[in-house]
Chains A and B, each alone.
Chain A
Amino acid sequence: MTMLRTDVVTRVSRATRVAIATDLRRLVTTGDVLDAGTDLEVYGYDASFLTQLKPVVPDVAVIARSEADVIAVMRYANEHRIPVTPRGAASGCGGGCVALRGGIVLALNAMNRVIEIDGPNGQVICEPGVVHARLNELVAPDGLIFPPDPGSSRMATVGGMASTNAHGVRAVKYGPTSSWVLGLTVVLPNGDVIETGSVGSRAKQSAAGLELTKLFVGAEGTLGVITRLRLKLLPRPKARAMVFAVFDVLERAGEAVQAVYRSGISPSAIEILDSRSLRAANLYRPDLGLREAEALLLFEVDGNPAGVRWDAEQIAETVRPLAVEVDWSDQEPRIAKLWEARSVVGAAVGALRPGSTRAYAGEDICVPLSRIPETLRGIQELSVKYDVPVATYGHIGGGSLHPAVLVNGRDPDDVRRVIALTDAIHHLALDLGGTVTGEHGVGAARAPYMTREHGAALETMRQIKRALDPHGIMNPATIFPEDVPPTPALDASLVTGGM
């Protein structure tokens, strides 16, 4: 398998960087251009362990504030063959928004205007930097909701959600972000602008032509830059209820999920916490008082008040023979507290071993529902084998699991073991008929597995990429493991003006 090489990044000379920045300052009319050495440090990472270990600092960062800025950057970069890496809130876990081959980081977080909430047509037009939670605050007064809900609602931008095709806790009922994007405005690598999903359309469905919208959703900025999104909204459900069930045999948790589906109920979320996660949550927040067992399942149902109560009772009855403890509630404070138990786990994992922190590596596998107990056991065995604490939780309803590994970043041996464990987790997922990324995206961290995961289909993806981005400047080394050459040797002579 081909290695991802972050060590081949060759920073261009200071003179070239100054020249690029000088040119861009002239071309970028509303945004900011950063090129001072220490100002670029913070554009060299996201949440991934990969960049935590080693920030990959770009040559220039542009904070775009308008579509015109994006067009100007792309035209310039395309002319001079400078890599461009789009970046939102940089809350991703795969290193997909850092300049792996140097060049320009194009930050879109400041393009954060909601342009129009079209209530009657159930859609919203907005810029890519709008944060998910903010969008939902703004559409709530109209009784609407943008249903995809990443756990990172308070940081993730909708542009990043679309680019990584984020799923989140409610994807099991509402589907991934791609189901909710009606159209996109995209600046192509050569600076041309296209609108997908029919120009100027407000239709909620379309069968016209190739589905270009879905091509750019999940492309992680390798095909172009999203500058505007037309998103579909749904009437906000009036009520929700939560069933929680504790299991002392892991396999029974898996059976419980199957049994609920067979009973004809489609929960809006089904989450699992394994024994280590429960332990971590209790260490971190003793007041939560979670019963420690092999697994805890949370089933959320939403809809009308009478309906959610019926659903919750039905689920509780269905799983009762399999669980050691079952309860349900439709009281908002109780539901919020249970969700809190789920949401603190990611950070709480650090409590399992003082002096260590959570590392986002191997954190996003997805396996067939029927293989979940096997996967959880496999992860626990690998945890013992590599002597790295791992707590696993996730959206079991869709088979998406988040193994949270702990690392003491000051101990090189520990770092080595975490890297080896991560690799083993990825291969475990592939062995069991799953994927290395269920919802966070490939980025750089998971690019080395794409050949095994896709086989010949990867070449088809490459052909699409080459057709749209012949010079390979769009977010190189993300998704595609090896075919993008390192940054061409830039020098000042390539750059117009400035020198």
Chain B
Amino acid sequence: MAESLVAGHRSTGNGEADVVPRYTIPGRAPSDVRDDDVGIALPTGAQALLEAEYENMLACVRCGLCLTSCPTYVLTGNENEGPRGRIALARALTEGRIPLTDELLTHEDNCLACDACTDVCPAGVRMEPIQVAFRAAVEPAVRRPVWVRALRTVVFDWLFPSMPRFRFLVWLVWIYQVSGLRTVLRATGALRLIGMSDADALLPPFVPHFLISSGQTYPPEGDRSDRVETVDLFAGCVMSTALAAIDHATVRVLQRSGCAVSCPSGQGCCGALHAHSGDRAGAVSLARSTIASFEVGGDRPVIVNSAGCGAMLKEYGHFLADDLDWASRAKRFSARVMDASEFLATRTLPVMHPIGAGSVRVTYQDACHLSHAQKITSQPRDLLRSIPGLELTEMAERSLCCGSAGVYNVTHPETARELGSRKAESIIATGAEVVVTANPGCYLQLRARLRATGSKTEVRHIMELLDAASSPVVAR
């Protein structure tokens, strides 16, 4: 062979080329495992889950373009905490070159799955499927305290799969808030004592006026008979309960845009939290039941007002691609899904009036699962600009995650608080009176972090603003 660029890959003996790339045969290069690194054994079935995303991992050319987009890399400067590092670790693990260690688990677990890296990747690597596969693969090997295991079982297996149970819990939380118990716990410092003060701060003030999907249809409003279209609403678990006001606002806005809004029964949680927490079976089960409950609507658009859920619903096609019975049903369903702002950008709202007495300065916070995962950035801004008297201003670091990221602000409170405070500072610096978002997690996170700084900036879901601006009754 000619003089070699990477002559280090030649054997030192006979001069024959001996190029054996380390990623030729995943999982079959035990001699490369460094003997001094003792790790955790890979659980059964983990290898297959990881290998399903192996092509995706190999697409990374390690250019480093993702680094500055990554919230955890920006905070730590540690390459293990950046997208390129996480992909390299997952790949080396898949290839059997490095063992599963506590450090590796922590670095992968610290990923917010915000997909900012996916958004900027020139090589087309997709982080979210890697994280979903990795977390499912290692979950059996993750050492968790018994009570955390028990809590996960209750939350993932008992609570989220059942909307009646979910509503019951939210009702209990309402009791907690209005009964004075919360006031007592806060005043006595008991919440801080049990490490729940961050979680408590995230709770929204709500009235239990739930939107219960039981197959009902809300008729279109106004004289728009020429343009009547029926859409299905994905009501969501948190959105239809704790934040039901936003669901009701969404229904009204859709009605005013000339749509009949159908709420198919049998729907519930989308399974995104399960997928991001390593509970693949739970996510698959919820995905199937969601798909089944919406099939009654044929090919009608499925409208969703939660960015995180919308990203997951659109991902069902990929998520169930290897599921013989469900692959085509999943693909068909995912093709129907539209974020509410994505859908409304194609329609016109009849009458729009100002939402305040004078001009109102508003800044828009890109939910990661809308901007990065669904590439929807212009539609919500255009809708906001269509509101008279609304002055839209942009914040610094607009593509950086606010730290909510599903339940990240509960599982990783410190990092979430740091990111949330950074986001709050960016929002306050714009001088906006209102910050608008399109995702329940961001909504709660922004409220908590802005309140912590003493800011008076209001947090609103974009559907709430559109509802107010298109309401026949002008509320001043």
Seen from chain A, the residues whose Cβ lies within 8 Å of a Cβ on chain B are: 1, 3-7, 11, 13-14, 32, 34, 36-39, 41-43, 45-47, 49-55, 63, 65, 89-91, 107, 109-110, 112, 129, 131, 133-134, 152, 154-155, 343-344, 346-347, 350, 355, 357-362, 409-410, 412, 415-416, 419-420, 422-424, 426-427, 445-446, 448
Contact = CB atoms under 8 A, between A and B. Distances in A.
Contacts of B175: none
Interface in B2-57: 2-10, 12, 17, 19-24, 34, 36-37, 39, 55
Most A-side CB within 10 Å, residue of B36, B67, B77: B77
Contacts of A427: 3
Interface in B72-116: 76-80, 82, 84-85, 88-89, 92, 98-99, 101, 103-104, 107
A442 to B, nearest CB: 12
Contact of B12 (A7, A41, A350, A426): A7
Nearest to A344: B122
B62 interface: yes
B89 A347 contact: no
Interface of B: 1-10, 12, 17, 19-24, 34, 36-37, 39, 55, 58-59, 61-65, 67-68, 76-80, 82, 84-85, 88-89, 92, 98-99, 101, 103-104, 107, 120, 122-124
A466 B99 CA distance: 40
Given A42-B88, A350-B123, A37 B98 contact: yes
B9 A7 contact: yes
Contact of B68 (A50, A55, A134, A360): A134
A63 B12 CA distance: 34
Contacts of A346: 122
A369 B7 CA distance: 31
Nearest to A31: B77
A37 B3 contact: no
A91 B63 contact: yes
Contact of A37 (B17, B79, B101): B101
Given A3-B8, A7-B9, A409 B36 contact: no
6 contacts: A5-B7, A37-B34, A53-B19, A54-B22, A362-B5, A412-B24
Contact of B65 (A154, A344, A355, A415): A154
Contact of A107 (B77, B89, B99, B123): B77
Contact of B5 (A50, A110, A357): A50
Given A43-B79, A410-B24, A155 B64 contact: yes
B244 to A, nearest CB: 41
Contacts of A344: 122
A230 B47 CA distance: 50
Contacts of B19: 53, 412, 415-416, 419
Contact of A53 (B6, B63, B77, B80): B6
Listed from nearest, the 10 A-B pairs whose CB atoms lie closest are A110-B77, A6-B8, A37-B37, A347-B122, A3-B7, A42-B85, A91-B64, A14-B36, A155-B64, A42-B79
Contacts of B9: 6-7, 53-54, 419
Most A-side CB within 10 Å, residue of B2, B61, B76, B124: B61
State the majority secondary structure of interface residues on B.
Answer: loop
A53 B67 contact: no
Nearest to A414: B21
B67 A420 contact: no
Given A39-B103, A45-B88, A412 B64 contact: no
A361 B39 CA distance: 34
A445 B4 CA distance: 9
B122 to A, nearest CB: 4
B78 A358 contact: no
B17 A416 contact: yes
Given A38-B98, A347-B124, A412-B21, 14 more contacts: A4-B7, A38-B39, A39-B107, A43-B79, A65-B77, A107-B79, A110-B76, A152-B63, A350-B124, A410-B24, A419-B19, A420-B1, A422-B5, A427-B3
A416 B21 CA distance: 10
A448 B7 contact: yes
Given A3-B4, A6-B8, A420-B4, A63 B64 contact: no
A41 B89 contact: yes
Contacts of A420: 1-2, 4
A16 B411 CA distance: 36
A416 to B, nearest CB: 5
Given A38-B37, A38-B99, A445 B65 contact: no
B41 to A, nearest CB: 15
A53 B21 CA distance: 5
Given A54-B8, A134-B68, A410-B23, A358 B62 contact: no
Nearest to A61: B79
Contacts of B89: 38, 41-42
Contacts of B78: 32, 34, 63
A129 to B, nearest CB: 8
B13 to A, nearest CB: 11
A347 B65 CA distance: 12
A426 B24 contact: no
Given A107-B77, A155-B67, A424-B2, A52 B104 contact: no
B61 A155 contact: no
Contacts of B123: 347, 350, 357-358
Nearest to A284: B124
B10 A41 contact: no
A33 B359 CA distance: 52
Contacts of A112: 77
A50 B67 CA distance: 21
A63 B62 contact: no
A409 B58 contact: yes
Contacts of B76: 110
Contacts of A415: 19, 21
A49 B6 contact: yes
A365 to B, nearest CB: 12
A47 B6 contact: no
Most B-side CB within 10 Å, residue of A51, A358, A427: A358
Contacts of A32: 78
A420 B4 CA distance: 6
A445 B63 CA distance: 16
Contacts of A89: 64, 67
B64 A419 contact: no
Given A38-B104, A415-B19, A360 B4 contact: no
Nearest to B20: A412
B103 A36 contact: yes
Contacts of B12: 5, 7
A412 B10 CA distance: 13
Nearest to B33: A37
B427 to A, nearest CB: 19
